[in-house]
Structure formats: C-alpha cells, structure tokens
Amino acid sequence: MAVPDFNILTPNAMLGYGYRLEHFWYGMNKYKPAAIIVDSGSTDGGPYKLGLNKMTCGRESYIRDLTPMLQAVYFRKVKLLIGSVGGDGSTKHVKEMLDIVLEIALEHGFDFKIATIDAGISRNLIKSRIKESQVSPCGPVEPLTIEAVDLAVDVVAQMGAEPYLEALKSDPDIVLGGRSYDPAPYAAFCLSKGVSTGVAWHMGKIMECGGICAIPKGRSMIATMREDSFDLTPLSPLERCTPLSVASHTLYEKTRPDRLPGPGGILTLDDAQYVQLTEKTVRVSGAVFEESSTYQIKLEGVQHLGYRTIFIGGIRDPILINQIDNFLAEIREYTQGLFPSLDKSEDCRLIYHIYGKDGVMGPLEPTPTPGHEIGILGEVVAPTQDLSYTIANNARASILHWPYKGQLATTGNFASPLSPHEQAAGPVFKFSLYHLVNLVPGEQVSLFPVSFHNIGTKTPLSEPIFLSNEVFSTIEKTTLTALVHKVVPQQCARMQDISKIVRSKNSGPFEMTFDIMFDDTETYERVKSAELLTNATIKKLYRVKDSDIIANMYFKPALAWKCTIKRPYAQGSVGELDTLGTQQHAPLLNIVVPAAKSHSASGIAGQAVPNETNSNHAAQAKSLSAIPDRSQFRPFDSVSHIWSGLDLPKSALESLNLTGSGLGLPSSFKIAHIAQSSIALSALTAALVHSVRNSFEVPRVTVPLQHAVTEFKSERLYVLDGKPAPSPWGPIGGLHKTSDGYVRVHDSFPNHQQGALALLGCEQNATREDLAVAATKWASIDLEREAFSSKLVISALRSYAQWDVLPAARAIPNFPISVRQIHPGPPGLPKRLRSGNDRALRGLRVLELSRVIAAPLAGKTLAAHGADVLWVTAPHLPDLPTMDRDFARGKRTTQLDLRSESDRSTLRELAKETDVFIQGYRPGSVAARGFGPSEVAALGQGVVYANMSAYGTEGPWSGNRGFDSLVQTCSGMNVSEAEHYGEGEPARPTPCQALDHAAGYFLAAGINAALYKKAAIGGSWEVNVSLAGTMKYLRSLGQFPGKEGFAVKDITVSEQIPEYLETQMSGFGELKAVRHSAQVERAMPGWDIMPKPLGSDKAEWI
C-alpha cells in the first residue's frame, strides 16, 4: 500500500536560536504539516553543557521558540518532536524542558499528552561492557577505561529512532527526547508512517539543520515525504533549494559525505539523486540505510579538570615581539619554579594563546610569524579557583616586568585592557567519553525509558489568527533571490578566487573537517585534475602527519572536496583555540590553482588587456609597433594592467598601497609613475609568492612614490667610504654629430671605448675631440650598422617617426614582460621555500650572470626579498665600480670563466640546484656556452630562466648589444625629451636610467610570476624583458605637455634625500645608499649582504 504524502516542518536548526514567525505560520497554513520536528542538541559548544548542566540557550529563548510550536500542536493537532532537549539531552535537561513546556501550556490553557525519553545510562552497564571488550573509540580518541567512567561528571547515550518509535505508539502530542542522534526524531516519525529507511534517515540528516541547505542560507524548511523520496522547500519567500545546495549539505560537520554512520547502521549516499522540481523545491531519492550486524550507540561524558583563570594583554614593542617565544618560555620556567605542580598534569597548566602569531590555529598554523603587535591570552587551569588565580597573577606580573635582551622600555612589557587583570573563568571540563558501546538486541529501546505526562484540562479554546491573508499573499508573491554564480578566472588563480565555499568545522569533539565547493562541473574537474588537494598538501598546510588525516576525497554530487583530520586538542577543553572549528580553513584559500585547460600556459603572459587603445589581440597581430594609449593610467592602473596580463589573481591587488604624488624627477616622461608601478609589481609578486608558501592572504605592500623614483637613481646617490659615487661615463662617449645627424657612443667599458676608436679610425689614445671629428665623416645609420656588426654599442639619434617605421621597432611587443612555460614538471614551489619565512623569497636560489644595471637590479631586488643570489662574473671581464658597488647589495659574488670547461662544469653543478637563472649578456652569448633556457631547464627539477636584452627576442635587432642610453637615443626618447624641454637641443637624456631600472623590476616581477605559476602548474619557465619593450611601455603612458614635467628639482646628491638612506659596512668601507622603497607587511625587504670585491665567495650554494 502506497504511503500518502505528508509534510514535516522544521522551524530552525536549533531550538532557541529563533525563527521568523510569519514563515512558520505560512508553512503551517500552506503545507499543513503532520509534525513539527526540531533539534535542540549539539556538542559544538564543548563539554561545559554536560559538565555544568547548562542548556545551550537561555530559558526565555526556549519559551519564545516553543510558544508558537505549542500553539500549532494545540490548535492544528500536529505532533511536536524535539531531540536532545536543552543541548546535551541529559536527564536533568529533559526535566527542565518538560517544565518549560508545562509553564507555557498552563499559561495558555493548553492540554497535552507528553512523552519524555531519558538518555541517561548506567555506569555499571558501561563498565561491564568495557570488561567484555564491547566498547570502542568513536573517532581518534583513547580506549575507554573504567576510571574515566567513574570520574565523569555525567554520561549520556545517543539514542536512535527506536525510542521515538516506541513513544509514538502511544500517540503523544509532544515527544521530548534526551540525547539523540540528530536525525533520529525525523527518521522515527517517517518510519512510523512507512517511509523507507534510507529516505527517512537522509531527510533527517538534512532537516535537522533547518534551512541551511537553502540559498540564501535560511532557517525554516518543509519536507514533503513519500515512501521512496522527499521534497525540500524553504519557507522564506526569498530562498530556494538547488540540487547542488542540497547535495552539499551532507558535507556539513561530517567526517565524509557519502557514508554517514549512526545508531544501528550507515546511511549510504552512492545512489542518491537530486532533482529540481520547481524554482524552490528539490526532490531527493536513492539513499540506502545499511543495518549493522551489531547495534551500537555513542556515549558522551565529561570530566571535571579544575578551574580556569584568564588574563589578556598586548605587546607592541618589536624588540620583544622578535623574541617572544624565548621570553614566554623563560616566564614559564620561572613560574614552574614557584608552583612545582604546574605543567605536570592536565589539571594544572599554563597556556599562552598568542594572537597575531598562532592564536587561532595553534599547532596547525603554517606561518607562526608574529605581526607588528600581538595579543596574549594567558590561560591557567588548576585544581582550585584560588590556585588558578594565584598562578595567573604571578605569570601575568612576570610578563609585565620580565627583562629581555635589548630591552629599552623598562616600565613594563604588557598592555592590559582589563582591571582586575585576572578574570576567573570557572570550572573547566573535557570530553572523557566519546565511545561506541555494543548493545544486545532490544537494548536500543530498553535503555531509553519513555515516560508519559498528561497536563492541562480539555477546555475548548478559540484559535486566534496567527497570519493575516495580506501577509500570506505577500509571501506568496515575493520574488526569489536571484542565483549568483561566481565568475571564475580561467587563468592561474587562488582557491578563494574560484571556489564558492571554503570552510572548516568540527566533526565531533575530536575531528576537524574542511569543505571546498564549486559552482560548476568545469571548475570542480579543473581542481580535481590538478591533483592539488592531496595528503601532501594537507600535511604541508596544517603540519600534520599521514596518520592524522582521516578522510580526503572528492564528492561529485556536491561538486566538492572534503578532508577531515584529527583535532590537535579536544574540543572546548583546556587550551582550546577555536571551539567550533570555523577559522581553520584559511590556509586553503591561497592554494594556487592552474589555469583552465582552454587557457593554456603558452598564452599566459605577454598579452595586453582591455581598456587601452590597440589592446585586442588582432590589432597586435597586425601592428605590434602601434603604441597603445595608456596616458590616462595612474600607477595603480599600470600595476593592474600588467598584473592582469600576467594572469595573476586579481584579488591580490587589494593588498597594494601606492602612496604619494608628484613629478618625482624633471622629465617629460612619467618616470615617477613607472618607478612606483614597476617597484610595486616586483614587491607585490614577491608578496604573492610569500602568500602561497605560507597559505595566507597576500600581505600589505606599500610603495611611496618619491622614495621609488629616488631609488631609480640609486647607483648615482650612494656614498662609499665618504666619497660620492663616481661617474659611470668614459672619456669619449656621449652624443656626437655625424654628417647627417647624431649618434651616441657608449664607452663605460674599456672594450667598448677601444672598439669605437678603432671603428672610426682613431688612435687608442685619441681624445673625445678626435672622435668627434672622425664621426662627422659618417652617416648616422651607417655608423650604427657597422657598430652592430662589430659587436659595439653606437646608436643613431632618431625621432619617434623615424624609429616607428623600423622592422626592429615593429617587432617589439606592446606588453613589457613575457612569461612562458618551456618544460613541463610537477607543480609546487622550490623545496626550500617553506613556510614560516621572515622575507618573501627567503630560501630561493638565484644564479645571476649579468653586468651593468637592468639584470643586476633584478637580482638585487630578489635579494631584497630574501633570495640567496650568487652573482657570477668573469675574471677577464672589466670591473664597473660605479654600478657594482650599488647592485652588489644582497649578493654573494664569485667568478667563473666560461671559456674553461672546468668552470663550465662548475656552473652546471650550480645550475642543477638553482631555482632561478638570470642572464643579462648579449642574446645568444651565454647559450653558446651551453647555458641556454632548454639546457639549464634540463639540468634541474624546474627552473625559471630570465633573460634581459636590449631589443627583445624577435626582429632584426634581437641579437644586438644595447644599453639604456642607447635605446633612449635610437627610439626617439632623447629627441622628444629635448623637444619638450624647448631649449633647442638635438637630444636630451632622462635624469636617470629609467629603462634600466624599470626593466630590472619588470624582470624581477616576471620571475616571481613564474614562481607563482610553477607552484600551480609546475615545470620550467622562461621570462623575457627588454629595454626597448620597457621604453615602449613608458612611452605608452604619455608625456607631460610642454615643459610641465620639468617643474621639479633633480636629485643629484645624497644630502637631498637623507630620509631614504641606510648606512652599513661593506667590503669597501662604510656604504650609505638608498634603501629599498617597497614595504611588505611582516616580510620587510632589505639586504643582508653588502658589496665586496668581485669573486669574494666560493662557487657553491650555502
């Protein structure tokens, strides 16, 4: 015989938490439920409820929630079933809830037949089962002992459906159940109506949480039951159920979502189906309840450990914060001397909770690095409240007055917000029983006695109007909240950017469970196929062992991933950090997810983004030389534009703080703009890597504009051993007139000087004037061409119009940084980039083969963020002291002659262990020695190979040498600068090597971006930046009109910028130089190594 449909109404997830009365009565009027069922219990709050006989909510909250339900029971003749009354479902709480129902009934004149079910259990029975080996742990807990049973303050057993079925046989109006398996009253009512066991239990598992499975998350829900399925409909007019929202609910607070064990069996959801019936309603079917061969029930009991006192305060002194662990350890040792019983047992302990370090996650925290200030919550537990207070008082006073290394503040160490400073927190308990006991047949009923209570007199009452027709009609007509699907970036992104839900929660007192859910199948499969959420990842993020991981699985019905681990401490007891477990998910947020397959690695970087002229790919393909119009960009827009072009997570930009304004340096070009934005890019990408290695949010990055533009002149502003930086220019270089124009000769290196003299037919001892005479016999482009052929550096002076028509100009891309994968490999950061680091790139190995400014600046920037940079030069190449003294900061330096097989072998050994390989020599020269990108990638387990060139990797000039001043000359910059200045000069250089500096920071940013992609995708990566590409980007920013950009004084000596200088001892004497302008919160950049003679270090990693 078919089971006729009937409805069950659940007003909320927890009795006493409140609900909307209009939704309740709307459900009563529209659906005419056969029963109102609600859960009232949980171990979420910890063991105190059972230990103190304290109900979850206040009495008035229960009266408020129960009154409408009792009105419905009386006037509408529906059943009311409540499970785990009062919170822990103890005998005392059953009686207390009965008293509340009696009070309401008497006040309103109701009469009811009430069934109460006791969940108290005989300790003698438990002890006898222990002796018979019929008791086992429920989860990762120790075996139960007879002593633990005797020490328990109270013990309850978690009943299944059978006691409710027994009570329902006598047709009560109300059933008040003691401690129950949460779905038990729901399942029992359905089973009494003939619903199949799988459907009954599955409905109960969802409905016991009220409207949590609705979108938006709600409170009140209707379940329409039939034998083989049930329908779920939220009562709020704004809410709906979807197959995904309902399927996802079985993840909530569960060890795993597909196997849900309970009294008498396991609910299996392998064949569960979820079908959308209407906009609001989902039908569920297919669950199977598999009965166990032995009926088991769960025991819950708590033990009194002692009494707790707490104190709280803050520390802001960085000197103390940097040694806080040793400081607190000394105080613990001292306090143990005063109280010899301290820390000898669990009932007498001193515990520090250090907020701003690891106060939320404790031993699970992957990055226990203190911030700029910390808060300390001291927790003391002792056998008496008085002893607890006394120990706390002594410990707090010691924190206040204890001396420490380097102390300057002698009046006190601890900022206490409360008076009195110590606060009694009362008794403290722990879960001592959380075990399964085997029952003999029939005990699942007999152990839970049912009692009946008839109250009131049958005096007829008139039903009032609980819901007006107008309100009913309004609810019916209200429009559902629109479904919003997350826009998922297809590029490489963090988990928080692509997931719908990332959460953590207790799964009982001894387990912590994590859920990640997605909006669509494509994203779910993208994450699953990337094999990111492995046990290895969990072990790294949470510092746990394999044995601590209980479940790690994907659950396709909910498009979700689930992992459950052992809690490092018992819930709600001594040392608790997160009683409900709701803030342990944070390390998952920053897991890097590879780009979608349709968004392949080959297209990751080097593409412009919308909101700029000529930015679409078709336009770029037709005319690479066209200059995009970015004249309206601010520095932040430039960072955002390049960040997007590199396919980096957009959310990280929220961590960027660009301060200051102004021209910075006298120029028509927006040098301050590119200085601030390029330095910000390098710092923010480093901070991004920092966030990935530590699994936390990207830290705050601040770059002040004036400091940044000052740093663009760092090699000209240092003072070494009391002397200012010498000029980098040689005696013959600079601008020279030719027969048809001008050329610029580069002579910083002796070989370039000698080569230029030889090419123009001058003696080696010739003067600048001699060279000038010789140059007038040449046409500019002829001299330039011959210089290129001779591997020299002489450039013809051109205007923009003359430059833009050249094939070399057209070959330069519009985007300044190229990042591409050159070899596949497993995802992950380099092995030395572990969590808990003090600087963003600490542990990164960088092999740098470079000279002059741009490439050395990239290495210097990585070093500022903590990288171990080994700068390799050659003994036969000339020293360039002006540059080397500044750009050697942060680096070890060694020399190898790549003409020697022995030294090439040494370099190969170094390259095998490097994470980053930077080369800044003429394109092809290092590769010709066997150290091209492919060769270096083949040596190691994934490397970032970074190239700095003058004119890029494509086009007829790609193999030519070049320097900042030469690129400015040949590309039209010098002519345009002179035209804006308006004094009739043929050419005017910019006041700093802006291309060198911006390109160096771009290269560092590209390297960091590649590291980020390596973490997600794996493999080896190549990064390319050119001076010409940087020039093109600077030009795209536009120029100040007329002479407007020159209305600021140049910075020419260090005395002008004392606020930006730092002083340290170098290998050449005292060095006063510009410190790094980027600030990274909790990972401040800086250089640990000061310049020293080239070749001072061994060619080895340390």
Give me the chain's average pLDDT, please. Answer: 92
Nearest to 235 by CA among 214, 256, 264, 261: 214
User: Rounded to whole angstroms, what are the CA distances from 651 to 371, 447, 502, 655?
Assistant: 22, 56, 16, 8
The mean pLDDT value for 931-952 works out to 92
What percent of the chain shows pLDDT beyond 70?
97
Provide long-range contacts, Cβ within 8 A and 24+ apart, for 528-535. 528/554, 528/561, 530/593, 530/594, 530/827, 530/1016, 532/591, 532/592, 532/593, 532/827, 532/1016, 533/561, 533/563, 533/591
State the pLDDT confidence band at 1, using cuts at 50, 70 and 90: low
Q: Is the pLDDT of residue 306 over 70?
A: yes
For 316-338, write each residue's pLDDT tens digit. 998 999 899 999 999 999 999 99
Question: Quick one: 457 exposed, middle or buried, by C-beta within 10 A (0-12, 13-18, 19+)?
Answer: exposed
DSSP alpha helices (H): ranges in 298-362? Answer: 318-321, 324-338
Work out the end-to-end distance of the chain between its first and last CA atoms, rounded to an integer number of angstroms: 80
Q: Give the domain ranges of the chain.
A: 6-119+159-243+442-455, 299-432, 493-593, 636-726+809-1080, 734-798
Cis check for the bond before 991: say yes or no (omega within 30 of 0). Answer: no
**HSE (CB half, 13 Å, CA atoms) of 475?**
21
Rounded mean pLDDT of 254-277?
94
CATH 1.20.120 fits 299-432, yes or no: no
299-432 and 636-726+809-1080 agree in CATH topology = no
Structure confidence at residue 621 as a pLDDT band (50, 70, 90): very low
Interhelix angle 671-694/635-645, nearest 10 degrees: 50
Query: Which letter, b or e, does each residue of 142-178 get, where b requires 16 or more Cβ atoms within 10 Å of its Cβ?
Result: eebeeebbeebbbbbbbbbbbbbbbbbeeebbbbbbb
Look up the CATH architecture of domain 636-726+809-1080.
3-Layer(aba) Sandwich (3.40)
Distance (Å, whole) CA 453 – CA 973: 95
pLDDT of 307 above 70: yes
Structure pTM? 0.66
Q: Please give the average per-residue pLDDT across 612-622, as a whole number.
A: 35
Tens digits of residue pLDDT in 109-136: 999 999 999 999 999 999 999 999 999 9
The whole-angstrom separation of Cα 223 and Cα 230 is: 6
Residue 1097: name the closest of 923, 803, 893 by CA: 893
Write the pLDDT tens digit of every residue in 457-467. Answer: 888 899 999 99
Q: How many residues does the chain have?
A: 1102
The residue-averaged pLDDT of 44-52 equals 84
Q: Give the tokens for residue 280.
A: 């609001």
pLDDT, tens digit, 9 for 90 and up, residues 753-811: 889 999 999 998 899 999 999 999 999 999 999 998 888 889 999 999 999 999 999 99
Supply the pLDDT for residue 139. 80
In sequence order, which ranges of 714-793 are alpha helices (DSSP H)?
A: 714-717, 750-759, 768-775, 780-789
The model's pLDDT over 945-978, given as tens digits with 9 standing for 90+, comes to: 999 999 998 889 988 888 999 999 999 999 999 9
The model's confidence at residue 618, banded by pLDDT at 50, 70 and 90, is very low
Residue 368's pLDDT is what?
83
pLDDT(609) > 50: no
pLDDT band per the 50, 70, 90 thresholds, residue 600: very low
pLDDT interval class at 314 (50, 70, 90): very high
Residue 881, pLDDT score: 75
Segment 186-230, tens digit of pLDDT:
999 999 999 999 999 999 999 999 999 999 999 999 999 999 999
Residue 743 pLDDT more than 90? yes
Token output for 39: 């859960």
Q: Kindly state the average pLDDT of the residues 523-538.
A: 93
Two tokens, residue 617: 């790919």
Average pLDDT estimate for 434-460:
94
- The pLDDT score that the predictor gives to residue 598 is 60
Tokens 């010691």 -> residue: 398
Q: What is the pLDDT of residue 620?
A: 32
Instruction: State yes or no: pLDDT of 149 exceeds 70.
Output: yes
